[in-house]
Structure 1
Amino acid sequence: MHGNWRSGVSAEPDGIEPPQPPPSPSGPRVRFSRRWQAGAAAVAVAAAVTATVLVAGSGGSSRHGAASAAGTPDDGLPHTAIEVSTGTCGRGWTKPRPGRQVFDLHNISATASEVYLDDPRTGKIYGEVDGLAPGTSRPLTVDLGSGSYAFKCLENDADAVTGPTVVVAGDVPQGPAAAPVNQHDLIPPTLAYQKWVGQRIGDLAAGTAKLKADIDHGDLAAARTDWLTAHLVYERMGAAYDTFGDADGAINGTAARTPGAVDDPGFTGFHRIEYGLWHGQSAAALRAPAAALDAAVRELQGGWSQQRMDPAAMGLRAHEIIENAEQFELTARTDYGSGTNLATASANIDGTRAILVQLRSLLVPRYPDVAALDAALDRAQADLAAQHHGAAWTPVDKLTQAQRERINADFGDLLERLAPVATIFEVRRTA
C-alpha cells in the first residue's frame, strides 16, 4: 500500500515476511471475524509513511542508494559506511555533516540487530532499521541538522550498545524526530480506553435488548431502525475487537462469499439479522438470531472486566480501523441489505477518534501533523454525513463517481496520516 522509517518491517526487503491473514473459509461454515485481516499491510504502511513525519526516509531494500555502473551512489546523496556490532557500533562516521544523507549500515556481528540513530541526550530517534541480519547491509536515509547524534545497536539477546557521540556543527535546524514510548507510557491510556469500551458495551447490551424486543413483538420497522443504532455502537469500539476474541465472530461475523452461506447456522450476529430484515424474512425466523446476538453481547459484557488489552497495539489499531473501513465498508462487502456501509464507516472514524483521545498527550509532542490529522478526520466524516438523508444513508453502489472518488480519497489520506501513529506507538527497546 503506501524512504522508510521502520524499514525492517516492510514486506519485501531482506526476506522479512509479515504475518499472513487467516485463510478464507472453504465452505459455507462461517462465523469468523472480518477484523484485522489487513493488519500486516497496516504495519508496512506505517513503516513507509512515517518517513515523511519522523525522518527523511530510510531505505528498506539493498538496492536503495546502490552504486551505479560508474561506482558512485545513484541517488545523488552523500553516503557513509557504518559498522554495526556490540564492539564497533557506529564506527565509520568521521566526517559529520548536516542535510539529507545516507548511512550504509553493515552488520558485522553474528546476530541480527536493530539500529537507531538518536540524540544521546534526549533519546529522540531520527532513524531506525530493524532486523538487520548478520553480514548484510541496509541504507538509512536521514535529514540531520546541527546537534549531537549517536548510533545505538541492539543485538538479539544482548544489552543495547551506544556508539560514539558525533556532533554536527553549525546552525542548521534539526530534522524530524520522535521520542520513543515504552510499555509504561501506554498503560494509562489503554486502561482509560478499556473503561470507555466497558461503558459502550453497556450501551450495546441495551441496544441488542431493544432489537430483540422489536423482533419478539413482530415490529420489523422498528427493528430496522434499532438494528442500525445498536450496530453503530459496536462499530465504534474498533480497537477492542481483538480482545473480544470469539465474541466478535458471534456478534459481527460475516458469511463466506459462497452460494448459500447466508443460510448456514454458523452465520450469526448483526449481519445475520440485517440479511433477514432487508430480505423479507419474518419475525419468527429472526427471533432465534436476535436472541443469540443479545446473549453473545451479554456474555461479552459479563466478562469484559477480566479482559486485558495490549497497550502496544493501540497505535496500530487506530490505523487498522480505517484500513478495515476502506476494505470492507467502502466496497460494500459487508452490506447484507441495509445499505448502511457509509454509516458504519463514519462510526469507524468515531472509533479511531476514541483511541486518539486517549493517546493524545503522548502523540502531540511526537507528531507535528496532529492538527492536519484532525482536519482529515473531520473532512472524511463530513463527506460521509453528506450521504445521510433523514433516516436513510446512500448505499455505496448508489454514489456518483465524484462522490465515491472523494470519499475514497478521504480514506486514503487518513491511512497516510494515521500510519505514523502506528509507528510512533510501537514499543522499542532502549536498553
Structure 2
Amino acid sequence: MREGLEAGLVVSILLAALRKTGTDGHRVSSAPVWLGVLGAVSVAAGFAAVLTFSTSVLSSAGQEAVGGLLSVLAVGLVTAMVFWMRRTAAGLSRQLRGEVERAAAVGAGALALTAFLAVGREGLETTLFLWTAVKASGSTAAPLVGAGLGLAAAVSACWLLYRQAVRLNLGVFFNRTALALIMVAAGVLAYGLGDLQDAGLLPGTHWIAFDLTAHLDPNSWWVSIITGCTELAPRMTVLQVVAWTVYLAVVVPLFVRAARPAPAPRTAAEAPAAATMPAATPAATTPAAPDAAEAPGRWVRLAGQRPWPVAAVLVVVPTLAATAAVLALPSAAAATVTVTRTRCAQEWTSARAGSQTIAVDNRTDRAGEIDLVNASGAVVAEIETIGPATTADMTATLGSGSYAIKCLMSGQAAASSASVQVSGSSAQAAPAAVKPVTLQELTGPNDAYQHYAAGVLARLTADVAALRTDLTAGNLAAAKADWLTAQLDWEEVGASYDSFGDAGTAVDGLPDGLPNGVQDSGFTGLHRLEYGLWHGQSAAQLLPQVATLGADVADVSRNLATDDEAGDPTNLPIRAHEIMEDALRDHLSGIDDEGAGAAYPETWADVQVTRTVLGELSGPLTARAPKLLPLAEQQLDALQSALLATRADGQWQTPQQAPQQAPQQSMQQPPAAARQQVDAAIGALLETLDQVPDLLEVPPSH
C-alpha cells in the first residue's frame, strides 16, 4: 500500500501539474502521462516475469543464491527509499511540477518519458521487494493477495486525494509506515542471508540461534501471522538473528533522528496542498518559468518531437524484451502437477530420463510432504514440507525405471499418482534412491537405546549419592569432582534438548527466562549445583538442591520408557544429529557454563553417546548410506583427539572464560590452534550427521 501510494502520488502530482500548464483555455492532454505510467508498469511486469522464470531453471542451490542476493538488494533499495522519502517528501511536488512544465513545453513524447521515469523506479522497487517477500513466505498466494489489496487501497486513496474528497497528512503517514516497512525489511534481510547460507555462500548454516519447530506448529495461524508480518522463522541461524538485530538497531535510530531539511518558501496557494497532498489542487499562480540551466536536455527535446514512437518504445519494448528473455530460457519443468483433497498429481503421465524439475501445486489447506518414489518405494526426490496454497519445485535425475509421486498431506490418508515408465539413460548420474524407513526398523534400535540410557541413569543416581556424601562432609573440592562425573554421565544419556521433556529440564535446566535468574527457586538440577559450587555457596546451601536433583533423576528413570520424547522411536535419528549440534550451540559457545568451564569434557561425553546412538542405528543407516557410518566414525575419532589435546597436565581446559565464572575460579585456555582444531572437527562431523534424520525419516501415513 505504501509503495502504491508513493507511485500514485507521483502520478497525481504529474496530472495536477499538467492541468495548470494549459493557456488560453487550452488543456494539455493527459494521455502521454498515462502512456508513460503504462510503460513503467510494463517494465515492472517484465522484470517480475524474468525474475520468476529465470530462477526456476536454476538448481536448488542456485535459486537460494539468487534469492538471497536479491533479498539483500531489495532491503538496500527499500531502506534508501525510506530515507529518501523522509528527506524529499516536502519538496517532491515542486520538483515534479517543474519537470512537467519543462516537458510539456517540449511535447507529448517528453511528457510520456517524464512520467515513465518518475513512476518506473517505484515499480521496479515494488516488484523486487514483493518478489523477495513471496520467496520468503514459501511462494504462497497470500503475499500476492495482500499486495493486490494494498495496491487497490492505494489507488482509491490517491483518487480521493486528487478529487479532494479526503485530506491526509502524508508526512505522518509515510513516517509511520516507514517503521513498519523497516521491520519487514529486517526480516527479509534475515531470510536472504539464510538463503545465502543454504547456498554455501555464507558460513554458519549449523550455528542455530534457536529452533522452535519442536514446540510450535509452523502452519498454525498465529505463527503464520507473525511470520507474514515480520518474515521471521521459527528456526534461525546466529547470523540471521545478528543481522536482524543489527539492522534494526542501526536503521531505526537513524530514521528517527533523521533531520528534516528546512521547508522552502511556499506561496499561500501551495501551503494547504502540502499539508494534505502535494500539488493535488491546482494553484492559482503558475511558478516562474525555469531558467536556462533547467532547460530540457537534447534527449528530452528529441522525445518531444516524436510522441507516439516514444510511447510505443516505453510500452512495447519492455514487454517484448521480457517475453524474449523468458522464451530463451531452457525448459525448467518436466511436468506441473497438482495436489487436491481427493487427487495426488493426476497430471503425472509422462517423464523423461535425465535431470528435470517437477512443479507441485498444493491446492489444499494442509501442509505435507511430496515424494517421488521408484518401483521399490525408495525416495528419489522429495519436498519435505509444502505449505497450503503453495507451489514448490522438486528436482530429480531419473534413469530407466518406473516412478510415482506420493502425497503425504497432514490429516489426510496417503495418496499416490499413477506410475510412469521412463526409458533411456541419463547423461548425469542419478543420486541413490533412499528407501523410506519404517517404524518397525527404528523400534529395535530405540529399545536398545532405552536399555543403554537406563544403565547410565543408574550410574547418575550413584553420582548424586556421592555428591550428597561430599556435601554432608563439607568437602567442596570432592563435590566439584563428583559434580563433573555426574554431568558427564547425564551427557552420555543423550541429553539433546527435550530428550526427556520437563523432567529432563529439571535435571539439566538453565536459569534463562526465569524471573530471578540464578536466584530463582525454579532453577534446579546439575547447573544449579554447578553455579553454587563455583560461586562460593556453602555445603548447607547446596544440600537441598542435591535432594531435589535425586528426586528428578529418579523421575526420569521411572518414566524413561513412557516419556513422549525419549520413548518415540522416530526421535532417535534426530538425536543422532542434535547431540553434537547442542554441544556446539550450548557447550562450546559457553551458553550453559555456570562456572565450571566444562565445555570440552561435556563435548567429549557427547561424542561417546553419539557413537552409541549411531551404533544402534547402524542397520538401517548402512542399508541406505553405506559410506556414512565409516566417515562419521573417522570424524568422531578426529573430534575426540582434538578434545583430548586441549587437556594440560591431565586437567581439562576451557574454550573461553564465561561471564558466569567467578574471577577466582578462572581456568586456563588451550592455545588458539587447539581450539580451532576442535571447532573444525565438530563442524565437519555435523555436516555428516546432518544426513541421518533425512535418511531415517519415517514418512507420515496420515
Query: What is the TM-score normalised by the length of structure 1?
Result: 0.78
Structure 1 gap segments, 5+ residues each: 24-37, 43-66
Structure-to-structure mapping, 1:61-76, within 5 angstroms: 70-72=325-327
- Structure having the higher helix fraction is 2
Residue 213, structure 1, aligned to residue 472, structure 2? no
Counterpart code for 1:334: D
Matches within 5 A, 1:14-413: 14=139, 19=212, 40=235, 70-72=325-327, 78-85=332-339, 87=343, 89=345, 91=347, 94-98=350-354, 100-107=355-362, 114-120=369-375, 122-133=376-387, 136-155=390-409, 157-170=412-425, 173-238=429-494, 242=498, 244-256=500-512, 261-307=517-563, 309-367=567-625, 368-397=627-656, 398-413=669-684
Q: 1:412 to 1:14 in 2, by over 3 A?
A: farther
Q: Distance in 1 between matches of 2:517 and 2:346?
A: 58
Distance in 2 between residues matched to 1:289 and 1:73, nearest whole Å: 71
Structure 1 range deviating more: 142-151 or 419-428: 142-151
Shift of the 39–237 alpha-carbon distance from structure 1 to 2, 3 Å rule, reads farther
SS in structure 2 opposite 1:213?
helix
Aligned-residue Cα RMSD (Å) equals 3.4
Aligned to 2:138, which of 1, 5, 13?
13
Contact 1:105 1:139 in 2 (8 A): yes
Question: Which amino acid is the alignment partner of residue 282 of structure 1?
Answer: S
Paired residues of 2:366 and 2:387 also in contact (CA < 8 A): yes
Q: State the percentage of identical aligned residues.
A: 33
- CA drift of 1:90 comes to 5.7
**Residues 239, 11 of structure 1: CA spacing in aligned structure 2 closer, same or farther, 3 A cutoff?**
farther
Q: Which amino acid aligns with 1:127?
A: A
How far apart, CA to CA, are the structure 2 residues paired with 1:92 and 1:364?
32
The change in CA–CA distance for 1:68 and 1:219 in structure 2 (over 3 A counts) is farther
| Shift of residue 228, structure 1, vs aligned partner | 0.7
Per-residue deviation, 1:404: 3.0
Deviation at 1:300, TM superposition (A): 2.8
SS in 2 for 1:152: strand
What letter corresponds to residue 381 of structure 1 in structure 2? Q
What TM-score, normalized to structure 2? 0.50
Counterpart-to-counterpart distance in 1, 2:655 and 2:369: 44
> 8 Å contact 1:152–1:163 — kept in the other structure?
no
Q: Which moved more, 1:390-399 or 1:126-135?
A: 126-135
Deviation at residue 405 of structure 1 after TM alignment: 2.8
In the TM superposition, residue 39 of structure 1 has moved relative to its aligned partner by: 9.5
Matched residues in 2 for 1:106 and 1:292: separation?
Answer: 54
Contact 1:150 1:166 in 2 (8 A): no
Query: In 2, Cα distance between the equivalents of 1:230 and 1:258?
Result: 24
User: Do the aligned partners of residues 284 and 139 (structure 1) sit closer, same or farther apart at CA in structure 2, a change above 3 Å counting?
Assistant: same
Q: Which has the higher contact order (CA 8 A, sep 6+)?
A: 1
- C-alpha change, 1:360 and 1:325, in structure 2 (3 Å) is same
Counterpart Cα distance in 2 of 1:297 and 1:209: 11
Is the CA contact 1:117–1:149 (under 8 Å) kept in the aligned structure 2? yes
> 180-189 vs 288-297, which deviates more?
288-297
Contact in 1 for aligned 2:348/2:417 (Cα 8 Å): no
Specify the structure having the higher radius of gyration (Cα). Answer: 2
1:168 Cα deviation from its structure 2 partner = 3.3
For residue 207 of structure 1, report the CA deviation from its aligned partner: 0.8
Q: Secondary structure at the match of 1:392?
A: coil
Evaluate the alpha carbon distance shift between residue 305 and residue 102 of structure 1 in structure 2; reply closer, same or farther with a 3 A threshold. Answer: closer
Residue 205 of structure 1 contacts residue 301 of structure 1 at CA under 8 Å; is this kept in 2? no
Unaligned runs of at least 5 residues, structure 2 = 1-59, 65-134, 143-190, 192-210, 217-232, 238-321, 657-668
2: distance between equivalents of 1:359 and 1:11? 35
Q: Aligned residue for 2:176?
A: none
Following superposition, the deviation at residue 108 of structure 1 comes to 5.7
* Structure 1 residue identity aligned to 2:401: G
The Cα of 1:302 is off from its aligned counterpart by 3.6
1:296 aligns to what SS in structure 2? helix
Q: What are the superposed Cα offsets for residues 188-229 of structure 1, whole Å, 9 maximum, x if unpaired?
A: 111111111111110110111111111111122211111111
Mapped contact 1:90–1:164 kept (Cα < 8 A): no
- Call closer, same or farther: CA 1:343–1:162 in 2, change over 3 Å: same
Task: Report the count of equivalent residues.
Answer: 384
Change (3 A) 1:143 1:378: farther
**Equivalents in 2 of 1:111, 1:293: separation in Å?**
43
Q: Deviations over 1:324-380 (max 9, x none)?
A: 111110111111221111111111222222211111100111124322222122211
Summarize the Cα distance change of 1:315–1:265 in structure 2 as closer, same or farther, 3 Å threshold.
same
